[in-house]
């Protein structure tokens, strides 16, 4: 690429990015999933629209995996461990046993009902099975769901890519069953467990180091946190473990550690996540070619999506729920909220890059199924959540941002009081912060003042609290407790 080509690339790329960001608002207003808007942009720019040629399956495969790494890192860094922990078993079972059930049902239907050869039938089932982390995480931000639901969906979408990638790669290479079915299962288990272990180790080491090093600029914290998560992917992939499991677990550990500038880090990784989604979906739109679509691509996409959505997915959720006490209506919602997005289309580039016979038709079928059923499933989610009784009406937690004070062993905490928080109306003296922590400044309606013990906290206030590092966590716990339960939280106990 020379300088002129770079100039043209930057011009077109920045223009597409601006349009894509503006499209987020349009899609939210219209109630449409933003990924469909990005795919549509890619189709407009592609060979059937403005004529930008992009047909390199190997490049699409590599860029697709890179985008998924960034999306999984963002998902792990913004996921609360307290929501995932009690639901990890259910989510992991959905990512493994649930995937097996789904692949079996869809492959059987594709072979006997759609008359596909077994290899293509299994590939179609495998690439359609995993839920898409980007689609799921974006829905969880928009619909306030119960923690049991969000934790399950987050764990499943973060972990189910790993076993499916192994299966799709093995089938595409033609050696899936060379050593028997148990060898394939053993490989999947090894990749998932080893990837998770590597991710946990790197996440823990990164968190341990960052808690003890004061970096010279706040903007470096988001960069190094994100770098640790991506480093986990590369480390796992280099030893043939699951990089996807590693990056998600490492990001989950880092995102739930008391690190400086957490709010700034969260904002940064959300921006990177959006950028990855936009680039990924636009690229996949460029790779697709509507001129190649035939009526049977549409029919097979509709039929395969129907088998997955109305038979395989509900059955896999019901089978996994046998081990857990989950309400039937919650199972219904979890089954319906297993959204597909970029992941199936990216996985469809694996056989395409390997020149598997029929892989181009497979890509077109998957593309049709994803576009149609993402729209069908996403549109009624909010109403379905209300009907299933899985909406969360709890008070939002206070937002805490921390910055290290290098010359003293203390941290500066910035507390934002959200709407509905029970901190509102509480006097500063009633916070009962531990010794070594005190409210030093209040920002209200753009003005600042040093509070008296009898001053009351208001909604949308920002409190600046200086806390000795030894009592910082206790101070944060106390503020969250008051935010949830009011001034009497922890009365008679150590706050």
Are 267 and 237 within one domain?
A: yes
The CATH number of residue 438's host domain is 3.30.70.1450
State the pLDDT at residue 340.
80
371 and 415 housed in the same domain: no
Strand partners, 154: none
- What is the mean predicted confidence (pLDDT) over 102-118? 93
12 has a pLDDT exceeding 90: no
Residues 307 and 445 reside in one and the same domain: no
What b/e string do you get for 292-324 counting C-beta neighbours within 10 Å, with b at 16 or more? ebeeebeebbebbbbbbbeebbbbbbbbbbeee
Specify the pLDDT at position 28: 58
Judgement on whether residues 162 and 278 belong to the same structural domain of the protein:
yes
Q: How many residues belong to the chain?
A: 495
Q: Is 399's pLDDT higher than 70?
A: no
Q: What pLDDT is stored for residue 402 in this prediction?
A: 62
**Mean pLDDT lowest for which of 26-35, 76-85, 442-451?**
26-35
Residue 93: band (very low, low, confident or very high) from pLDDT cuts 50, 70, 90: very high
Task: Return the percentage of the chain with pLDDT > 70, whole number.
Answer: 90
Same domain, 91 and 228: yes
495 pLDDT above the threshold of 70: no
Model pLDDT, residue 42: 81
Looking at the fold, whether 52 and 85 belong to one and the same domain comes out as: yes
Give the pLDDT band of residue 78 (cuts 50, 70, 90). confident
Strand pairing of 447-449 and 399-405? unpaired
- Domain presence at residue 74: yes
The whole-number average pLDDT for the span 184-194 is 87
Residue ranges in 129-219 assigned as alpha helix (H): 133-142, 147-159, 161-173, 181-210
Residue 494 covered by a domain:
no
pLDDT score, position 112:
94
Phi, psi of 453 (to 5 degrees): -55, -30
The boundaries of the domain holding residue 449 are 399-485
**pLDDT at residue number 394:** 53
Average pLDDT over residues 395-413: 64
So what's the pLDDT on residue 395? 47
Task: State pTM to two decimals.
Answer: 0.75
Residue 66 inside a domain? The answer is yes
Report the distance separating Cα 464 and Cα 438, nearest Å. Answer: 9
Whether the per-residue pLDDT at 435 is higher than 60: the answer is yes
Which of 353, 388, 423 terminates a domain? The answer is 388
pLDDT band, residue 79 (cuts 50/70/90): confident
Is pLDDT larger for residue 418 or for residue 233? 233
- Whether 490 is covered by a domain: the verdict is no
Residues 409 and 293 in one domain: no
- Considering the domain architecture, whether residues 335 and 407 belong to the same structural domain is answered as no
Tell me: the pLDDT tens digits for 131-166? 877 677 666 666 778 888 888 888 888 888 888 888
Round the average pLDDT of the chain to a whole number and report it: 84
> Are the C-beta atoms of residues 259 and 207 closer than 8 Å to each other?
yes
Q: Which of 368, 388, 408 is the last residue of a domain?
A: 388
Q: Note the pLDDT of residue 491.
A: 62
Mean local confidence (pLDDT), 480-485: 86
Compute the distance between CA of residue 275 and CA of residue 70 in angstroms, rounded to an integer: 9
User: Pick the residue with more confidence: 36 or 230?
Assistant: 230
Residues sharing a CB contact under 8 Å with residue 470, sequence separation 6 or more, in sequence order: 409, 436
Neighbours of 255 (CB within 10 A): 25
- Looking at the structure, tell me whether residues 163 and 197 fall in a common domain: yes
Same domain, 238 and 311: yes
Kindly list the distances between the CA atom of residue 147 and the CA atoms of 60, 95, 155, 358, 481, in Å, as whole numbers in the listed order. Answer: 35, 18, 12, 42, 18
From CA 319, how far away is CA 93, in angstroms rounded?
Answer: 10
pLDDT bracket for residue 317 (50, 70, 90): very high
**Is position 492 within any domain?**
no
Whether residues 411 and 332 share a domain: the answer is no
| Region of poorest pLDDT, from 130-134, 323-327, 484-488 | 130-134
Q: Is the dihedral of CA 426, 432, 434, 435 positive or negative?
A: positive
**pLDDT value for 494:** 45
Q: Domain with 23 in it: what CATH number?
A: 1.20.1530.20
The pLDDT assigned to 285 comes to: 81
Q: How many domains does the chain have?
A: 2
Quick one: 236 and 294 in the same domain?
yes
> What is the three-class DSSP state of 468?
strand
Residue 495 forms part of a structural domain: no
335, 362, 388 - which closes a domain: 388
Highest mean pLDDT among 104-118, 277-291, 461-475: 104-118
Where in 49-105 does DSSP place strands (E)? none
**pLDDT tens per residue across span 240-252:** 899 989 999 999 9
Taking only the tens place, the pLDDT of each residue in 57-77 is: 888 888 888 988 988 888 888
DSSP string, 351-417: HHHTT-TTHHHHHHHHHHHHHHHHHHHHTTHHHHHHHHT-B--SPPPPEEEEEEETTTTEEEEEEE-
Give the whole-number percent of the chain exceeding pLDDT 90: 27
Mean pLDDT on 172-200:
83
């Amino acid at each position: 690429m020379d300088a002129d080509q770079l100039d043209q690339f930057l011009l077109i790329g920045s223009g597409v990015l601006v349009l894509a960001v503006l499209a987020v608002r349009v899609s939210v207003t219209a109630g449409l999933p933003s990924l469909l808007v990005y795919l549509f942009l890619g189709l407009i720019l592609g060979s059937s629209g403005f004529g930008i040629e992009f047909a390199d399956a190997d490049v699409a495969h590599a860029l697709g995996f890179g985008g998924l790494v960034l999306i999984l890192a963002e998902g792990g860094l913004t996921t609360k461990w307290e929501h995932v922990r009690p639901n990890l078993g259910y989510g992991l079972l959905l990512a493994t046993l649930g995937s097996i059930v789904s692949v079996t049902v869809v492959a059987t239907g594709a072979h006997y009902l759609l008359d596909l050869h077994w290899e293509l039938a299994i590939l179609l089932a495998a690439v359609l099975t995993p839920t898409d982390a980007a689609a799921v995480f974006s829905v969880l931000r928009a619909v306030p769901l119960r923690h049991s639901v969000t934790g399950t969906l987050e764990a499943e979408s973060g972990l189910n890519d790993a076993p499916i990638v192994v299966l799709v790669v093995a089938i595409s290479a033609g050696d899936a069953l060379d050593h028997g079915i148990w060898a394939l299962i053993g490989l999947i288990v090894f990749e998932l467990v080893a990837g998770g272990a590597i991710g946990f180790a790197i996440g823990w080491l990164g968190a341990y180091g960052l808690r003890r090093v004061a970096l010279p600029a706040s903007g470096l914290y988001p960069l190094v946190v994100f770098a640790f998560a991506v480093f986990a992917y590369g480390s796992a992939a280099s030893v043939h473990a699951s990089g996807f499991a590693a990056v998600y677990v490492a990001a989950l550990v880092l995102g739930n550690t008391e690190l400086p500038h957490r709010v700034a880090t969260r904002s940064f990784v959300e921006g990177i996540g959006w950028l990855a989604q936009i680039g990924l979906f636009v690229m996949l739109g460029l790779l697709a070619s509507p001129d190649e679509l035939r009526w049977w691509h549409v029919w097979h996409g509709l039929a395969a999506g129907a088998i997955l959505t109305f038979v395989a997915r509900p059955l896999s959720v019901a089978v996994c729920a046998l081990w857990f006490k989950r309400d039937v209506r919650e199972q219904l919602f979890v089954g319906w909220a297993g959204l597909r997005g970029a992941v199936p289309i990216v996985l469809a580039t694996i056989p395409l890059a390997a020149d598997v016979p029929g892989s181009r038709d497979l890509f077109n079928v998957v593309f049709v199924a994803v576009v149609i059923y993402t729209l069908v499933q996403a549109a009624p989610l909010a109403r379905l959540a209300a009907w299933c009784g899985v909406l969360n009406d709890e008070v939002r937690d206070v937002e805490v941002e921390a910055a290290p004070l290098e010359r003293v062993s203390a941290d500066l905490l910035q507390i934002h009081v959200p709407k509905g928080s029970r901190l509102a109306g509480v006097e500063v003296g009633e916070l009962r912060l531990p010794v070594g922590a005190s409210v030093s400044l209040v920002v209200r309606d753009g003005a600042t003042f040093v509070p008296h013990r009898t001053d009351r906290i208001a909604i949308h206030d920002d409190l600046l609290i200086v806390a000795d590092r030894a009592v910082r966590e206790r101070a944060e716990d106390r503020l969250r407790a008051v935010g949830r339960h009011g001034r009497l939280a922890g009365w008679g106990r150590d706050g």
